[in-house]
Amino acid sequence: MKYFSTSTLALLLSITTKSTLAWMTVSHPIHHGTMKEQSKTRLFSSKAKVTIAKYEGLGNDFILVDARDSSEPTLTPEQSANLCDRNFSVGGDGVIFALAPPEGDETYDFSMRIYNSDGSEPEMCGNGIRCLAAFLSDLGEDAKSYRINTLAGPIIPVMNDDGGVTVDMGEPILEGAKVPTTLAANHPDGISVVEQTLECNSKTWLVSAISMGNPHAIIFVNDLLTDIDFESDGPALESSPAFPAKINVEFVQVLSPTHLKMKVWERGAGPTLACGTGTCALVVAAIRAGKIPRPTGEGLEAAVRVTLPGGDLLIEWRESNNKIYMTGPADLSFQGTAVLK
């Protein structure tokens, strides 16, 4: 038997251990990058997700969800508000659901519901309905127009050849109590609120109240830059006790008999680049308050141009049927999958 010294044994053990480790490393490599990627994949796959498309109408941007096989929104108000977060998720002024029409009702092609960026639910959204029409068209619903059921009643968007959308917004609601507002009626018709005095935010305002299925307070100013403190006056007026359901606030400057300019503080969303229903309401308010004449004729030649922070809308208040027609763009920004938080 051959004996080894203590130092020799230590050397052999060291060599054997290194060889074993080397064999283990070659035979069973540990890919740290792969493990991280697998971990990320498992994490992503474990999260609830939703397929979305992002559309905008004059910068008023919305997350569109295809729920045509459902009669109710497929996300909760809280999930929708989280999706609208511009720092931690997709970002948007609201989430719009393309839904099935009411069961058994052949009057409609689809239904629309919307949650604002704060999770509240408005009755309707003018820019949103144009985006919904473009979304339906992009989904393959090849029609010239759509009959949409909304919480504000039936709305009919028509797809134009130039890519824009004209929406039959229905008739304005002029009765103050139905807007709703507690401001006293002061119009000769006995029911309307036209430039009525309101004390709010330590200022005196002349407010016209009109509903387009959702409530609007319209205030005319000489200069949008100097006559209002937008970030302070907007939320104060939105939450004024004079408006039990809160209200969308439009500040309007008259540029010419056929051209108005506005800034909007939207109920539940704050400052946005555009508001379709508000644009319709302010044109009616301008005509009724004598700020501009009512155009004659029909079609775009009888429309009033309204400049919003995000661009222009054309609004026609047609005398023959008392309906309002809104024309403007609706464009796809991107589509994909979003993680629900």
Catalytic residue IDs: 125, 275
The single-letter code of the amino acid at 308 is L
Distance separating alpha carbons of residues 258 and 317, to the nearest angstrom: 12
